[in-house]
């Protein structure tokens, strides 16, 4: 049996070896060996060895994985997650990536501008707790976003706007933060945030200010203005009206 035939048979079973995963993805995405070699600035022969599970002299290192995933927008979890070990599971991850890529884009210029520490300011849901919330937030080059409270999220860059989706470390509620890409180049920008308040678990909408440098909170309050103009809390009355309408519709 030829090597290619052996690989085709292996694709029907477990794909636990990263070399097999690379070989499968290359066939699935129709990536030419010559093109991959050119992008990675290596020889075609090296790529052939890299994806051949029966070739033991060439190791498939992490730097190869990162370079290939970056060059072709391949989700790195395919190689790092050991439970993604069949062609069907790989296909599902690739499909999800395709759905996201149709909206969000790889934009190195935006990412580079956001890298590092920023300070996000907004009014809290309860003004007795603080005048203004200040949250130190760090952007990483792998599109992770982590704030000082260990709430973690991902950066999703669209054509004109970017959205951060964060999960609260405690409640596991999702927070979305949206801002215009064009505004980040001035080292401060306005964002909108949809979240839930920590105490009452109520839906909360806020406009806030994000700054590259730490700001005096008195200045922040002057910029944001009256709280009623930048914050909206969902009233429980609307939930009661929704329930009433549903009951009447039965």
Give residue 135's pLDDT band: very low, low, confident or very high (50, 70, 90). very high
Residues 30 and 131 reside in one and the same domain: no
Secondary structure element (H or E) that encloses residue 238, with its range:
helix 236-249
Residues 86 and 121 reside in one and the same domain: no
> For residue 3, is pLDDT > 60?
no
220 versus 250: which is more confidently predicted? Answer: 220
How many independent structural domains does the chain possess? Answer: 2
Residues 128 and 228 reside in one and the same domain: yes
Give the range of the structural domain holding residue 39, as residue numbers without chain letter: 3-101
Average pLDDT over residues 154-158: 91
> For residue 164, is pLDDT > 70?
yes
CATH for 155: 2.40.128
Rounded to a whole number, what is the largest CA-CA distance in the chain?
Answer: 75
Residues 89 and 130 reside in one and the same domain: no
Average pLDDT over residues 11-28: 81
In three-state secondary structure terms, 72 is: helix
Instruction: Assign residue 168 a region (left: φ > 0; alpha: ψ between -120 and 50; beta: otherwise).
Output: beta
Residues 42 and 93 reside in one and the same domain: yes
Residues 241 and 137 reside in one and the same domain: yes
Residues 16 and 87 reside in one and the same domain: yes
Domain boundary among 101, 124, 150: 101
Residues 63 and 128 reside in one and the same domain: no
Residues 87 and 8 reside in one and the same domain: yes
Q: pLDDT value at position 214? A: 96
Residues 146 and 244 reside in one and the same domain: yes
Question: Poorest-confidence range of 95-104, 130-139, 170-179, 187-196?
Answer: 95-104
């Amino acid at each position: 049996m030829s090597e290619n035939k052996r690989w085709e048979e292996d694709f029907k079973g477990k794909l636990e070896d990263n070399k097999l995963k690379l070989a499968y993805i290359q066939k699935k995405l129709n990536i030419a060996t010559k093109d991959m070699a050119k992008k990675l600035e290596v020889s075609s022969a090296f790529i052939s060895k890299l994806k051949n599970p029966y070739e033991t002299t060439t190791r498939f290192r992490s730097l190869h994985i990162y370079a290939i995933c970056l060059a072709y927008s391949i989700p790195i979890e395919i190689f790092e997650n050991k439970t993604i070990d069949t062609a069907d599971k790989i296909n599902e991850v690739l499909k999800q990536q395709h759905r996201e890529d149709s909206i969000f884009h790889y934009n190195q210029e935006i990412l580079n501008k956001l890298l590092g520490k920023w300070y996000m300011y907004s009014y809290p849901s309860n003004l007795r707790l603080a005048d203004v919330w200040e949250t130190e937030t760090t952007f990483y080059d792998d599109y992770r976003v982590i704030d000082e409270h260990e709430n973690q999220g991902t950066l999703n860059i669209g054509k004109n706007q970017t959205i951060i989706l964060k999960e609260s470390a405690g409640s596991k509620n999702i927070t979305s933060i949206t801002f215009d890409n064009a505004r980040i180049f001035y080292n401060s920008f306005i964002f909108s945030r949809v979240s839930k308040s920590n105490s009452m678990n109520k839906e909360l909408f806020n406009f806030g200010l994000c700054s590259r440098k730490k700001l005096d909170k008195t200045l922040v309050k002057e910029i944001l203005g009256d709280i009623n103009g930048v914050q909206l809390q969902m009233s429980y009355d609307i939930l009661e009206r929704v329930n009433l309408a549903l009951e009447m519709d039965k």
